[in-house]
């Protein structure tokens, strides 16, 4: 008998995390239905008036902490389990990432308690890495058994492998960063690395964000540093394939150490070698060199690594293939689907 999951809330169905997991649900034989309430806090009333049928599972997707309260109340009234896939912590984002107020301040404590109640309301909380799940457990006193890990992965229909040709010795390699120019990504480390690097490399930073202006000022006049404007999502794979080396994140924050960003999944899936900060979030070291991890916050390490890749540019096609192999081994669609299946088996069995 086909099981039904009700995706609840004012979520974006086109966000990559949501699209990937919705496809996984379908592949696992589930029927996916949506409920987009007009007003989040009154969602339960709207669901009742609309006569929404009880599903087998309620799912509250990424970033929708505000939808949990109403979703939980309705799910409980129907005797249906509920999973929340927050992706990020509102408390972590506001206090540690944006530093809007001190961690011990009254506002921070209020936000902590607000989010804690919402996470505890769900029967299961998903995280993209084991380190991120541990953060939820330690910060919000969640029982470890109430968490599950399902990797982000990439949209493999968009981010596909493409052969990497070795550039002639007299042509500069391109090291490409794309992102939102935030502290977690530490784009200033890339600028400093470019200044230290004496190898013939074109350093390109693509995207928009709060730190782009300061980075442009920091890079002013440097002949090997280039900036490009925001690119539509569907055009990213083609731009990735034009580069030789992809740059991940280099921040030194706790969050940077426990997450694997979309850009890393996407670059690996697109079959390009990636240089990023070392993190225990990765399942294992890639000895084949498709994923190269360096010390966080170190422009010296980044400059040396890129220079070394330039000297051994004949190895780049092999490293590119290793990147896709590493992706398929740990983060491919089959892996994400299996992780989701295990989480679903657990929650359905507990009901």
Confidence of residue 325 (pLDDT cuts 50, 70, 90): very high
Write down the pTM of the prediction.
0.93
Per-residue confidence (pLDDT) for residue 277, from 0 to 100: 97
The single-letter DSSP state of residue 168 is: P
Is 90 exceeded by the pLDDT of residue 24? yes
- pLDDT tens, residue by residue, 37-76: 998 888 988 998 899 999 999 999 999 999 999 999 999 9
E-assigned strand segments in the chain: 4-8, 31-35, 57-60, 82-84, 124-127, 147-149, 173-179, 201-207, 225-228, 245-247, 274-277, 291-294
Is 90 exceeded by the pLDDT of residue 109? yes
Cα separation, 134 vs 131, whole angstroms: 5
Per-residue confidence (pLDDT) for residue 96, from 0 to 100: 87
Per-residue confidence (pLDDT) for residue 351, from 0 to 100: 62
Residues 340 and 201 in one domain: no
Per-residue confidence (pLDDT) for residue 98, from 0 to 100: 83
Per-residue confidence (pLDDT) for residue 99, from 0 to 100: 85
Residues 276 and 338 in one domain: no
Residues 243 and 203 in one domain: yes
Cα separation, 307 vs 116, whole angstroms: 46
Residues 65 and 37 in one domain: yes
Residues 224 and 304 in one domain: yes
Count structural domains, the chain.
2
* Mean pLDDT value of segment 109-131: 96
Task: Give 294: exposed, middle or buried? Use CB within 10 Å, 0-12, 13-18, 19+.
Answer: buried
Residues 181 and 133 in one domain: no
Residues 294 and 265 in one domain: yes
Is 90 exceeded by the pLDDT of residue 97? no
Residue 168 lies in a domain: no
What percent of the chain is predicted at pLDDT more than 90?
A: 90
64: CATH: 3.40.50.2000
- pLDDT tens, residue by residue, 142-176: 999 999 999 999 999 999 999 999 999 889 999 99
Residues 138 and 194 in one domain: no
- pLDDT tens, residue by residue, 269-321: 999 999 999 999 999 888 999 999 999 999 999 999 999 999 999 999 999 99
- pLDDT tens, residue by residue, 195-239: 999 999 999 999 999 999 999 999 999 999 999 999 999 999 999
Torsion of CA 118, 122, 124, 125, to 10 degrees: -20
Residue 166 lies in a domain: no
Per-residue confidence (pLDDT) for residue 350, from 0 to 100: 78
Average pLDDT value for the chain? 95
What percent of the chain is predicted at pLDDT more than 70?
A: 100
* Mean pLDDT value of segment 86-112: 91
> Which stretches within 79-205 are classed as H helix?
90-91, 106-121, 130-140, 187-196
Residue 165 lies in a domain: no
Residue 33 lies in a domain: yes
Residues 108 and 229 in one domain: no
Q: Which domain holds residue 214?
A: 173-330
* Mean pLDDT value of segment 326-332: 96
Strand partners, 82: 58
* Mean pLDDT value of segment 248-266: 94
């Amino acid at each position: 008998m086909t099981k039904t999951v009700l995706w609840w809330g004012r979520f974006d169905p086109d966000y990559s995390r949501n699209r990937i997991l919705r496809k996984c649900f379908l592949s696992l034989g589930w029927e996916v239905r949506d409920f987009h309430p007009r007003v989040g806090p009154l969602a339960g009333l709207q669901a009742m008036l609309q006569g929404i049928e009880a599903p087998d599972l309620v799912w509250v997707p990424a970033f929708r902490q505000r939808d949990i309260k109403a979703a939980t109340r309705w799910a409980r009234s129907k005797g249906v389990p509920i999973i929340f896939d927050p992706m990020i912590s509102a408390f972590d984002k506001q206090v540690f990432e944006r530093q809007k107020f001190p961690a011990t301040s009254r506002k921070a404590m209020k936000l902590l308690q607000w989010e804690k109640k919402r996470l505890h309301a769900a029967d299961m909380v998903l995280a993209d890495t084991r380190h991120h799940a541990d953060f939820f457990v330690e910060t919000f006193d969640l029982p470890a058994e109430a968490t599950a890990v399902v990797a982000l992965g990439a949209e493999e229909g968009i981010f596909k492998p493409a052969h990497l040709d070795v550039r002639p010795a007299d042509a500069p390699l391109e090291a490409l960063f794309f992102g939102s120019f935030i502290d977690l990504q530490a784009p200033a480390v890339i600028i400093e690395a470019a200044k230290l690097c004496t190898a013939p490399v074109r350093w390109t930073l693509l995207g928009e964000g709060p730190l782009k202006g300061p980075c442009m000022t920091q890079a002013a006049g440097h002949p090997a540093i280039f900036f490009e404007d925001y690119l539509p999502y569907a055009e990213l794979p083609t731009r990735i394939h034009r580069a030789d080396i992809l740059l991940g994140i280099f921040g030194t924050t706790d969050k940077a150490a426990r997450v694997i960003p979309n850009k890393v999944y996407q670059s690996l899936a697109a079959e390009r070698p990636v240089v990023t900060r070392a993190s225990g979030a990765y399942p294992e070291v890639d000895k084949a060199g498709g994923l190269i991890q360096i010390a966080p916050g170190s422009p010296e390490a980044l400059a040396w690594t890129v220079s070394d890749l330039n000297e051994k540019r004949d190895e780049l096609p092999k490293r590119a293939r290793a990147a896709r192999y590493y992706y398929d081994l740990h983060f491919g669609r089959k892996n994400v689907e299996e992780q989701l299946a295990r989480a679903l088996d657990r929650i359905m069995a507990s009901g």
